[in-house]
Amino acid sequence: MSLEMRPVCEGCGAATPPADAAWICSFECTFCGDCAERGAAACPNCGGELVPRPRRRPEGDEGGAPSDR
């Protein structure tokens, strides 16, 4: 099971592509850095902690999920 890489910030609508920095909670609500900072790193949807989302390599780049190899 992999993370759902949501493409836009739920706070302001800014793009959050998989290779860019973003912040997520345990429910994978996704926010840009500015919105995460404004909310003091707390998810406005559930109140959970926002943490940096891991970045994913751009599609077509070598690698991929281990289960896909």
- Give the residue, 67 or 6, on which the prediction is more confident: 6
Query: pTM for this structure?
Result: 0.80
Query: What is the tally of structural domains in the chain?
Result: 1
Whether 63 maps to a domain, the answer reads no
> What CATH code is carried by the domain that includes residue 49?
3.30.40
Say if 66 falls within a structural domain: no
Q: Is 15 among the domain residues?
A: yes
Residue type, position 20, single letter: D
Handedness of CA 43, 46, 51, 55 (dihedral sign): negative
Residue 18 domain-assigned (yes or no): yes
Per-residue pLDDT of 11-58, as tens digits, reads 999 999 999 999 999 999 999 999 999 999 999 999 999 999 999 887
Close Cβ partners of 42 (under 8 Å, ≥ 6 residues apart): 48, 49, 50
Residue 52 confidence (pLDDT): 97
